[in-house]
Amino acid sequence: MARAHSPRSGSMQYWHRVRAKRIYPRIRSWYRNVKDLKLLGFAGYKAGMTHILSKDTNPNSPTKNENVFIPVTVIECPPLKAYSIRFYKKTDKGLSVISEILASKFEKYLGRKIKIFKKNKEKNIGSFLEQSSEVRLCLYTQPRLIKLKKTPEIFEIALSGNNAKEQYEYAKNLLDKEIRIHEIFKAGQFIDIHSVTKGKGLQGAVKRFGVTLKSHKSEKKRRSAGNLGAWTPKKVSFRIPQKGQMGFHNRTEYDKQIIEISSAPEKINPKDGFPHYGLVKSDFLLIRGSVPGPQKRLIRLTESFRASKFSPIDINYISVESKQ
């Protein structure tokens, strides 16, 4: 009888599988091949999922010109506000902060996250620009506008372009101003999504790596790997599936299409709201497919590295049926 073969249980793509340091992700690289000078990202809160019906415009599809069912994720995007401009210079160990210019006004809720200075010291901006190779903008969310919570999240977003002086002039105009989602992205565009996945806690090898259950006649354990490796070297390899943390990891999904960006939440709100979230009250966008993380988690959106073709979608129907 032929021996049964199967692929390896569990992906080794991510290692170590440890908990994320914070509940929203850090972005280490930015796609800068953008014509216009603008912010390269945004952020919003995951509300839930629904579905739409749209005309299939793919000429090679078997459902060409027919209405197709598309699952979508609703991400609520209240306006962001900038609180500082940071100047960076290149060093042998990467980018290093030269200095920072703070906004003239701060909202009291920002004081829950960082220390707010009453007076802003005058700084020699000209000398900063001579040294700097890049300028970035520090922003904070406004979850109180949608009655989600009071404490904002703070993060940094890079700017397109390679000229530090042009980046500074652009960033200076955004200080103390609200930035909305439709100023950064357009419907039909492809973006990358960064999020922290839903936490599952401590899990065993079967759930964590998909290890096959051993026979009921097997000795000792049934829900573990068959053996822990060779006698020598006298240590357990990291390739052996074992129990450990599952979920609450930083993950990036590439090329997610924006179906729609709108400021009319009544178009997508169910009568009784989204489960574990409630009603959408601000700007929102619809993303094709699912997004990592539970409801109310901050999702960070950036320009797509793989840059798929721009393809707008005609929406014929958006489901507002109860999700309960």
Within 8 A by CB and 6+ apart from 262, the residues are: 268, 283, 284, 285
Q: What is the mean pLDDT of residues 240-268?
A: 94
Say which CATH class 79-179 falls into: alpha beta
User: Which of 154, 132, 128, 136 lies closest to 39 in space, CA to CA?
Assistant: 136
**Long-range contacts, stretch 215-222, CB < 8 angstroms, 24+ apart:** none
For Cα atoms 198, 199, 205, give the angle at the middle one, nearest 5 degrees: 115
Residues 223 and 213: their CA atoms lie apart, in Å, by: 6
The per-residue pLDDT for 12 is 75
Percent of the chain's residues with pLDDT above 90: 64
> What is the model's pLDDT at position 249?
94
Q: Is the pLDDT of residue 121 over 70?
A: no
Count CB-CB contacts under 10 A for residue 300. 21
Taking residues 70-75, what's their average pLDDT? 96
Percent share of the chain, pLDDT over 70: 98
What is the C-alpha radius of gyration for the chain, rounded to an integer number of angstroms?
A: 24
51 pLDDT above the threshold of 80: yes
- Rounded to two decimals, the pTM is 0.91
Residue 122's pLDDT is: 66
Q: Which of these, 237, 246, 186, lies nearest to 210 by C-alpha position?
A: 246
The ranges assigned to domains in the chain are 79-179
Burial-class residue 213 by CB neighbours within 10 Å (0-12, 13-18, 19+).
exposed
Number of residues written out for the chain: 324
pLDDT value, residue 80: 96
Cα–Cα distance, 115 to 84 (Å, whole number): 13
Q: What is the pLDDT of residue 226?
A: 86
Query: And the tokens for 270?
Result: 């169910």
pLDDT at 6 over 80: no
pLDDT band, very low/low/confident/very high, at 74 (cuts 50, 70, 90): very high
Average pLDDT, the chain: 90
Q: Is the dihedral of CA 296, 302, 305, 309 positive or negative?
A: positive
Mean pLDDT of the region 135-154: 95
3-state secondary structure of 161: coil
Q: Mean pLDDT across the stretch 36-49? A: 95
